[in-house]
Structures are given as C-alpha cells and as structure tokens.
Structure 1
Amino acid sequence: MALSRTTRIRNPALFICDLQEKFRDAIYEFPKLIPTTSKLLLAARHLTIPTYVTTQNRARLGDTIAELKPHLTGAHIKADIDKTLFSMITPEIDTLLPKPAAGGEPIDAIIVGIETHICVTQTTLDLLSRGHRVYVIVDGVSSVNPEERGIALARLRDAGAIVTSSEGVLFEMLGDAKHGAFKAVSGLVKDSKEETKAALEVFSKI
C-alpha cells in the first residue's frame, strides 16, 4: 500500500458513482456534491481523462441528475452504465480498466458520489484490490447519515486510499502552470470557489 500513499497522480481516471434523481432529498447535503462533480467532469473534458459513470437500479432510482447530463458526452466518457452491484467495478467496467497484475499501468482513480459507506467504499476496495490507486474526494462524497461518511473514510484510508480535495487533485493533475489546460482548469476552480468553500465547510468535518 506504500505506493498508493506516496505516488503522485500520473494516470488519472474519474469515477462518478450513482448521483441520481431519487437521492436528492435523502443524501446529506446532496446539493453541495453537484458543483464538485461538475467541476471535475469539466476538468476531465479539458484534460481528456477517462471517465466512468454509473447509476444504481436506474428504473427505480432515476437517471443521473440533470445538472450533470450535459457533461457526459465526449470520447473520454468510457462508460455510462446502470448496475445492480453496489461497486462500480462491474464486469463491463472491469474489462475497460488496465490490469496491473498483467503488466498494465495502474490508474489513479478519482471517485465522487454516493453513498460513501456503500457504493463508494466497495468501488474503492475493488480498485485497490486490483492494484490501482484511489483518491476519494472529500468534498464529493456523502451518505444518507452524515456519520457514515467519517466511518467509511477512516476505513478507506486504512485500506490505502487517499482522502483529498477536488482542488488538490486538479492542480496535482496539472502539475505546472505551463500546462496547456492550466487556464481552463484554473478558471473552473476560480468560478466555483464559493461552492467549493461551502462544500468543504460541511464535508471536511470527518
């Protein structure tokens, strides 16, 4: 697990877990997840980061929320699937990921969504068990019961995941103010600074 704790992001992939209509009124501070996720999705487009999106039992729980749908187009969207598994690492998505055990380069999986202690946890553990690194975005995950967040994040840290912030991973992926996408991504950060502050004020208390 030392590698996952100490290595900088070099092969990012974005995972958007089950941000669906039926969860709006149930999940703790759900509205604050939306700007975090939108910011990461827009950055993923600018940086051409492979992006994986899931819904849980879409027929019953609704589609991905309307605010995110405009951002789910482009060649970098590698999967947008419905599932019954709690983990995002379904057979369909698993086939799309590199296999470190067979010599593939591990991904740096950046994950946002719900619920922290169920689908986010199981996705993270599955990715770690396959040899990938995982970055759980503290201002991008929540649960029905807020107390579940802290319990889950502590477990995931112990398992080898990194718990960090959306702004932190964005600038780590850029790495240099000379990066071709710096202006676009730093603009996203600037435009969403108030929403980011509000999300951190709630979600960083773990």
Structure 2
Amino acid sequence: MLDADNTALVIIDVQGKLAQIMDQHQALFEQLETMVKGAQILQLPILWVEQIPDKLGATIPQLQALLTSQAPIAKNTFSACGNREFLDALEATQCTSILVVGIEAHICVYQTAMDLHRAGHHVEVVTDAVSSRTKANKQLALNKMSLAGIKLTSTEMALFELQKVAQGEQFKQLISIIK
C-alpha cells in the first residue's frame, strides 16, 4: 500500500505541442492537474522533468501554474533515471514509493518506471494520468510495465489510498478537487 510519508510524485515531459497531440489530451490534463493538487494536499514530494525543453517546449501552463515553487529538471535521456540531477533530487526525498505520470507512456514514462523498478523502488503508474499519441502504444506500455511487476493505479485510487481515512481537512480538500 502507498503511504504518504514515503511516496513521491514524478511528472514526466508534459510539454509543448507534443502534449497537445496525446490521445485524449484534455482528459489527461485534467487528471494531471488533480494528481498534482492531490500530491500537494498530501504534502508529497514532486519531481518534475522536461525532455530537451529548448526543442520540445515548456511544460503545459496548467501544470506550471501549480508548480511555481520549483523548477523542472531538464533531461535528454528517455529515462529520467539517466539524469544525475533527477537521481539526486529523488534520493533527497528519501521516498521508496513512486507515482509516475506524464507522457509518452511507451517511451519516457515506460523507461523511467522500469529503471525505478529495477533500482528497487515500489513504482505505480497512474493510468489515467499517462498517455501516448496512440491508445495502442499507451496500452502496450501499461501491459509491459504490469508484466514486469510495476503496479497500475488511477488518480482517485492513489489519492484515496494515500489519504487512508474519510475524515479530516486533507480529506475535505481531496474531495473538493475530485470531480
């Protein structure tokens, strides 16, 4: 089970024009916003990476607006784990459970999740907060990650699993962001 004291959220490459051509991109953006707001309510560490931002552009404005207290980590490797700055930031969180969201499911999300899993982390991919340009590539990635032992979850499932109880101020805040 996920535990809010030991879980970090990793946001992968939700950038520029590429983000706009993802399968069901509007629904994806809504789930990403909910996931980030939920992580903030639960006080989870959030790591945010961008793939070659000078070429692919910045993270979509909806997410940038929520992440004003931090800057993205630029990378040029498909897996965020190929970036020393990301690995150092992850280590600093001391979290062993990682929720992964972003794009593209079959490339950067897949390779990052697999590397985190191989490194011994408990990895869960938030299926309604990842996408690819095609539904088939997203499904292939989810299948392959699941077969490798990576867990699959959804935005609501993860947030309520982390919350644990249906009471208190955090619970009220979570209910208000889940539509």
Query: Could you tell me the TM-score, scaled by structure 1's length?
Result: 0.80
Task: Choose the corresponding residue for 1:91, options 62, 67, 84.
Answer: 84
| Match of residue 110 from structure 1 | 99
Q: Which residue of 2 aligns with 1:55?
A: 50
| RMSD value, Cα | 1.8
1:40 shift after superposition: 1.1
Structure 1: tracts of 5 or more residues without a match: 1-7, 194-206
Partner residue of 1:39 out of 9, 34, 37: 34
Deviating beyond 4 angstroms after TM superposition, the runs of 4 or more aligned structure 1 residues are: none
Contact kept in structure 1, 2:7 and 2:95, CA below 8 Å: no
Q: What is the letter of the counterpart of residue 184 of structure 1?
A: Q
Larger gyration radius, structure 1 or structure 2: 1
Q: Does 1:138 align with 2:127?
A: yes
**1:105 CA displacement:** 6.0
Aligned residues of 1:24 and 1:31 also touching (Cα < 8 A): no
CA distance in 2, matches of 1:120, 1:65: 17
Cα distance, 1:61 vs. partner?
0.8
* TM-score (normalised: structure 2): 0.91
Is the contact between residue 8 and residue 95 of structure 2 (CA under 8 Å) also seen in structure 1?
no
Q: What secondary structure is seen at the aligned counterpart in 1 of 2:152? A: strand
Alignment check: 8 A CA contact 1:9 1:173 kept: yes
Unpaired stretches in structure 2, ≥5 consecutive residues: none
The residue that corresponds to 1:13 in the other structure is 8
Cα displacement string for residues 41-91 of structure 1 (whole angstroms, at most 9, x for unaligned residues): 1111111100011111111111000111111133xx5x6211101112221
What is the total number of aligned residue pairs between the two structures?
176
User: What is the rounded CA distance, in whole Å, between the counterparts of 1:152 and 1:161 in structure 2?
Assistant: 11
Alpha-carbon separation, structure 2, partners of 1:155 and 1:34: 24
Output the amino acid matched with 1:63: A
